[in-house]
Amino acid sequence: MPYKAPMKLVTCPFNKCHIFSQDRLQPHIIKCERKYPNHFICPFYNLHRFMDEKDYKEHVLQCDKKKLIEPWLYTKVTRNPVQLDIPDNFHHTGNWED
């Protein structure tokens, strides 16, 4: 019999008594949110739901999914300086003022 890894259990954001496997989170939220119409949805990941406004505001500041929406804020861009090859025998003879 093949080994089955234990499933990660998660808690419903609406009712803490609802505990189920993580793969059932999305279908459960769709069903359960009808009973709790006054909730807050994370702007970065729609499975993050909150009943309390304070928890919601704290979450938005720290949401790990924010990196997916605003990657330019979280990636470090390194630029190499441009190397120009100027010949040794190059002499500027033109007059730029004319």
Are the C-beta atoms of 29 and 41 separated by less than 8 Å? Answer: no
39-85 pLDDT, tens digit per residue, is 899 988 888 888 889 999 999 999 888 877 777 676 676 677 777 77
Partners of 19 in the β-ladder: 11
For residues 10 and 25, is the Cβ–Cβ distance under 8 A? yes
Average pLDDT value over all residues in the chain: 81
CB 27 within 8 A of CB 35: no
At 22 the pLDDT is: 87
The model's pTM: 0.56
